[in-house]
Amino acid sequence: MDKTYKFDYKTSEFVLHHGNPIVLTGKEALKMWIEKALRSNKRMQLYKGTGYGTDIEALTMGKGFNFDFTQSEIKREAEECLLKNDDIYAVTSCEVSVVRGRLNIEIELRTAYGSEEVNL
């Protein structure tokens, strides 16, 4: 993974150090790419036709789908999205749950940097 800028999804802002954005490389850049890719809606005009992002929002927002179906589709979307990155070799585990109305995704990956765990 080349490089990317550190972004804080809780504050919706880039993280700065002395007024400059923090640049991530290697393993940390890959982790940031993973989070951004999973949070990005591939239906947004910006990503249309690129294959980037997921359609998780369409599966969860105001839909009355059976949870088993939704869970299975979220796992499929996540795996399909992540495996487009050449530094990700395999999705070894993907668990989807809802805790207090919040969607949680826990993913284990085999990457160019070793095994990684991502929790969103």
Convert the pLDDT of each residue in 19-74 to its tens digit. Answer: 999 999 999 999 999 999 998 887 777 677 777 888 877 776 666 677 788 888 88
The percent of residues above 70 in pLDDT, for the chain, comes to: 91
Q: Are the CB atoms for 30 and 24 separated by under 8 Å?
A: no
pLDDT at 108 over 90: yes
Output the average pLDDT for the chain. Answer: 88
**DSSP code at position 120:** -
Confidence at residue 63, expressed as pLDDT on a 0 to 100 scale? 64
- Cα 50 to the chain's mean position, in Å? 16
